[in-house]
């Protein structure tokens, strides 16, 4: 079940421009609104908008995909390797793989 991606835009005050503040997955627009409001609650936003990523028409980067191809074997190995990581984020105990 792959849910569409929505991009989230918001601004804190009337005069400031909209900023891209994040994204989420949701099965439809209504749930996307709920998820956006509940997930990005770090500010008391004056205005928040969401738009499906596939509705964004690129003007400058239409030939540049934002998403990498689906995972292959190399990525699978990374996901599958046993191991707790250090908080340093790099010392995953991989049982000697690599």
As measured in angstroms, the least distance from the Cβ of 1 to another protein is 5
Cα 49 to Cα 53: distance, rounded to the nearest angstrom: 12
Q: Under the criterion CB under 8 A, does residue 83 sit at the interface with another protein?
A: yes
Question: Edge-to-edge, what's the strand order for the sheet holding 47-52?
Answer: 19-25, 5-11, 47-52
As measured in angstroms, the least distance from the Cβ of 56 to another protein is 14
In sequence order, what are the beta bridge partners of 70?
none
**Residue ranges binding another protein (CB under 8 A):** 1-2, 5, 20-25, 38-40, 42, 61, 64-72, 74-75, 78-93, 95
């Amino acid at each position: 079940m792959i849910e569409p991606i929505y991009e989230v835009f918001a601004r804190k005050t009337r005069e400031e421009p909209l900023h891209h503040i994040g994204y989420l997955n949701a099965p439809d627009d209504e749930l996307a609104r709920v998820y956006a409001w509940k997930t990005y609650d770090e500010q008391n936003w004056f205005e928040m908008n969401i738009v499906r990523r596939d509705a964004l028409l690129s003007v400058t980067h239409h030939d540049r995909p934002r998403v990498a191809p689906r995972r292959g074997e190399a990525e699978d190995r990374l996901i599958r390797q046993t191991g707790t990581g250090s908080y340093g984020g790099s010392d995953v105990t991989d049982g000697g793989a690599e």
